[in-house]
A and B are shown apart, each in its own frame.
Chain A
Amino acid sequence: MAVIQHSPHEDLPPPVSQTGIIGWLRQNLFSNWLNSLLTLLAIFILWKTVVPLVEWAFIKADWVGTSRDDCDSGGACWVFVSVRFKQFMYGLYPEAEQWRINLMAIMFVLLMIPMFIKSFPWKKWLGMFILFGFPIVGFYLLSGGAFGLEHVETSLWGGLTLTLVLSAVGIVAALPLGILLALGRRSEMPIVRALSVAFIELWRGVPLITVLFMASVMLPLFLPEGTQFDKLLRALIGIVMFQSAYMAEVVRGGLQAIPKGQYEAAEALGLSYWKSMGLIILPQALKLVIPGIVNTFIALFKDTTLVLIIGLFDLLAMIQSATQDTKWLGFSIEGYVFAAVTFWIFCFGMSRYSQALERKLHTGH
C-alpha cells in the first residue's frame, strides 16, 4: 500500500475563472445573485451621486478670479474660497504680521521632521522641547508685545491658526493634568481618589458647550472684581479642563495595562512613589496609549469648532461668517465643502498616523 512520489509535482497555474480580473470580479462582486444585485445597485447610486459631484466640484468649477462675477459657469465657485483664503487661514490677524504665523508653522514642521527619522538620536529631548518649549516660543511669536514684535490682540486671532492654537494648547496642557488625575484616581488615599473621580466624571458627563458657556460667562464672576479676562483664555481654560478628564481616562487605561510586576519591581528597588512613576511606570504607560492620545487630539481638533458659539472665530466660524457676506451670498456650499475638506485632511491624516503607530507599537510590546 505504499505510495511514493518519485518527482515533485510542478506548480500549475490556477484555473482561469478563479484568478485575474475575471476571478476577482466573480469572487468580489458577483459571487451570487444577491451580491450581483447589490453591485448593480451600488453602481447606480454612485452614478447618480459621484458623477454630478465631480462635475460640480471640478469640471465646471471656477477657480480663478477676484469677484463673484467670475463665477458664472454654474459649477463650484472656488473663487470665493481663494479670495477669502487669507482670512480663513489667519482670521483678522493684521496682514503685515502674518509672516509670524508662517514662521511658526515652518518652525513646527522643521522640528517635527527629525521625529520621523528612525535613527535620530535626540528624539526624547526634541519631543520635550516640542511639547513644552515650543508653545512658549509660539505664544510670543503670535501675540508679540516683546522682542520688538508688535502686540496682536487675541481677539484678532482666527481661522485655521486659531483652530490649531486651541487644539495644540488644549492637548499640551491637558496631558500633564490628565496624568495627575489618572494617578489620583488610582491612588489609595480615599480623599484624593474621590476628588479625582468627581472631577473626571463631572467633565466627562457634560457637553462641551456647557463647559464653554460656563467658562465664558462664569469665570469672570469667580475672580475678584475688575480682573480682565481674555476671551480666548477663558475658552482655553474650559477646553483644558474638559480634555484633561478624557485624557485622564486614556492614561488610566495605560496604567492599568502595566503588569503589577513592574510596580513591584520599582518598589523593591527602593524608588519613591514619584520616582517609580516618573522613571518606570509612566514612560511605559504613555507609550502604550499614544494611539489613544492621538485619538483624543483628533476629537479635540473637531471640538474646537464649538468656540463659534461663544463668539471666537476659528476656521469654521470664519467660513460661516464669510458665507453671510452680502458680496458672496449663495456660495455657502462651497464654503462648507472647503471647511469639510480641510478638517477631513487633518483628521484622516492623524487617524491614519495613529493606526500606523498602533501597529508599530503592538509588535514591540
Chain B
Amino acid sequence: MTEDFAQTNEKLAVEIIGMHKWYGEFHVLKNINLEVRRGERIVVCGPSGSGKSTMIRCINRLEEHQRGKIIVDGIELTNDIKNIDQIRREVGMCFQHFNLFPHLTVLENCCLAPIWVRKMPRKEAEEVAMKYLERVKIPDQASKYPGQLSGGQQQRVAIARSLCMNPRIMLFDEPTSALDPEMIKEVLDVMVELAESGMTMLCVTHEMGFAKTVADSVIFMDGGEIIESNKPEEFFSNPQHERTQLFLSQILQH
C-alpha cells in the first residue's frame, strides 16, 4: 500500500472527490471537491454554520461522510479501522479549545501517543517531546499541568503534542478563536514557522493576516459548499462571487 502511495499520490496529501454529508435530514456538506498537494497551505474561511469545521473533521474521521471519497496520503477513508488508524497517525489536529489532557503534565500529554501508538520507549518519546516543546518555545513548562498555563501556552502545547507523532498533514480548527487577543500572536507565530518548514496545513481560521502571509490558497465556504478558491492576493483584492464579497466586507471591516 505504501508503495502505491509513493508512486501515484506522491503529490496529493488530501483528495476529496464529490463528498456529501448529512446530519439526519440536513444536508450539511454538498459536493465537496478538494485537492491538497504536499507542502501546500490552505486556509478555509466562511460564516459560521458553513460546514468548514465539519469538512476538515471528516478528513481524520472525527465525522463520517455518506457519499463521495476522501483519500488521505493515498489511503482511502472508509469504515475500515486499519485505514482510519493509519490516517490518524499521519494527520495531526489542533482544536479551538485545545483539549489538552488535564490530568497529565505537559510532557506526559506530548508523550502519550508516541508511547502507546508508535510504541516508542519512554526516553526517546521524552526527547522528541522536548524537541517540539522547544520548537514552540515553552520547554520550561514541561512538568506543569495544563490548568497552570495560559490559553496561548496551552494551544502551543497542543500543537507540539500533535507534532510529536510526526504527522505529514496538520489540521487546525479555529486555533485562535478561544484566545485572548494578546495571546493570538504567539500561536500564529508558531503556525507560520511550521508552514515555512514545509508542513502541509489545512487551517480553518478568521485570521486573515495569517492567510495573507502564509497561505498558498484561500477557500471560501458557505452553506456547505466551496464557493470560491483562489490565491490570497487574488482572493482578497478581487473576490469573484457576491457571497465572498459580502463575507469579506463583513470581516475586514475592523
| Chain A residues near B (Cβ < 8 Å) | 1-5, 8-9, 11-15, 18-19
Q: Provided the pairs A8-B223, A14-B25 are in contact, do residues A1 and B67 lie with their beta carbons within 8 angstroms?
A: no
- Kindly state the separation between the CA atoms of A15 and B66 in the bound complex, as whole angstroms: 8
Determine the chain A residues whose CB is within 8 A of the CB of B31 once the complex forms: 9
CA distance A5 to B33 in the complex (A): 12
Q: Does B176 contact A (CB under 8 A)?
A: no
Cα A5 to Cα B225 in complex, Å, equals 9
Q: Which of B83-91, B202-210, B229-237 contacts A (4 or more CB under 8 A)?
A: B229-237
Can you spell out 15 A-B residue pairs with CB atoms less than 8 angstroms apart? A1-B230, A2-B228, A2-B240, A3-B229, A3-B230, A4-B227, A4-B228, A4-B241, A5-B226, A5-B227, A9-B224, A12-B30, A15-B66, A18-B22, A19-B22
B20 at the interface (CB under 8 A from A): yes
Chain B residues positioned under 8 Å from A13 (CB to CB): 25, 27
CB nearest to B67 among chain A residues: A15
- State A18–B66 Cα separation when bound (angstroms): 8
| A11-B27 contact given A3-B229, A4-B227, CB 8 Å threshold | yes
Q: How many Å from the CB of B150 to the closest CB on chain A?
A: 23
A13 to B30, CA, bound (A): 11
The answer on a CB contact under 8 Å between B30 and A9 is yes
| B66 near A4: Cβ-Cβ < 8 Å | no
A17 nearest in chain B by CB position? B66
When distances are taken between beta carbons in the complex, the residues of chain B under 8 Å from A19 are 22, 24-25
Smallest Cβ distance from A108 to chain B, in angstroms? 45
B217 at the binding interface (Cβ < 8 Å): yes
B230 contacts A2, C-beta separation under 8 Å: yes
With a cutoff of 8 Å between Cβ atoms, the chain A residues found around residue B67 in the complex are 15
Say whether, besides A1-B230, A1-B231, A4-B241, A12 and B20 are in contact (CB < 8 Å).
yes
**Contact pick for B229, options A2, A12, A18, CB 8 Å:** A2
Q: Could you tell me the distance in whole angstroms from the C-beta of A17 to the nearest C-beta in chain B?
A: 9
Q: Which residues of A contact B27 (CB under 8 A)?
A: 11-14
Pairs A-B, 3 closest by C-beta atoms:
A14-B22, A9-B30, A3-B229
Residues of A within 8 A of B20 (CB): 12
Q: Contacts A2-B240, A14-B22, A14-B66 given; 20 further ones with Cβ under 8 A?
A: A1-B217, A1-B230, A2-B228, A2-B229, A2-B230, A2-B234, A3-B229, A5-B225, A5-B227, A5-B228, A8-B223, A8-B225, A9-B224, A9-B225, A13-B27, A14-B24, A14-B27, A18-B22, A19-B22, A19-B24
Distance of A4 Cα from B230 Cα, bound (Å): 9
Chain A residue with Cβ nearest B216: A1
The distance from the CB of B84 to the nearest CB of chain A, in whole angstroms, is: 14
Closest to A24 in B: B24
Neighbouring A residues of B24 by C-beta, 8 Å: 14, 19
CA distance A12 to B234 in the complex (A): 32
Of B230, B231, B241, which one neighbours A5 at CB under 8 angstroms? B241
B126 CB, min distance to chain A CBs, angstroms:
37
Shortest distance in angstroms between A27's beta carbon and chain B's nearest beta carbon? 10
What is the distance, in angstroms, from A30's C-beta to the closest C-beta of chain B?
Answer: 14
Residues of chain B within 8 A of A9, CB atoms compared: 30-31, 224-225
Q: A4–B226 Cα gap in the complex (Å)? A: 8
CA distance A356 to B76 in the complex (A): 46
Interface centre among A1, A3, A9 (most CB of B within 10 A): A3
Q: How far is the CA of A3 from the CA of B30 in the complex (A)?
A: 15
Residue of A nearest to B23 (CB): A14
- A313 → B minimal CB distance (Å): 53
Which residue of A is nearest B229, CB measured? Answer: A3
A231 to B30, CA, bound (A): 74
- Report the separation of the CA atoms of residues A11 and B229 in the bound assembly, to the nearest whole angstrom: 22
Which single residue of chain B is at the shortest CB-CB distance from A12?
B27
* C-alpha gap A93/B218 in the complex (Å): 82
Tell me whether A3 and B223 are in contact in the complex, defined as CB-CB below 8 angstroms, given that A15-B67, A18-B22 are known contacts. Answer: no
Q: 0/1 per residue, B58-96, Cβ < 8 Å to A?
A: 000000001100000000000000000000000000000
Contacts of B234 in A (CB 8 A): 2
Which residue of A is nearest B241, CB measured? A4
A106–B227 alpha-carbon span in the complex (Å): 65
Residues of B within 8 Å of A8, CB to CB, are: 223, 225
**In the bound complex, how far is the Cα of B231 from the Cα of A39, in angstroms?**
53
CB distance from A242 to the nearest CB of B (A): 38
- B229 neighbours in A (Cβ, 8 Å): 1-3
Task: Give the complex CA separation of A3 and B239 in angstroms.
Answer: 11
- In the complex the two chains form, what is the Cα distance from A46 to B172 in whole Å? 47
Cα–Cα distance between A13 and B226 once the two chains are bound (Å): 19
User: Please, which residue of chain A has its CB at the minimum distance from the CB of B27?
Assistant: A11
Give CA–CA (A15, B21) in the complex, Å.
10
**Least CB distance, B40 to chain A, in whole angstroms:** 11
Nearest A residue to B217, CB-CB:
A1
- What's the Cα separation between A15 and B224 when bound, in Å? 17
Among A5, A9, A12, A19, the one with the most B-chain Cβ atoms within 10 Å of its Cβ is A5
Give complex CA distance A2, B238 in Å: 11
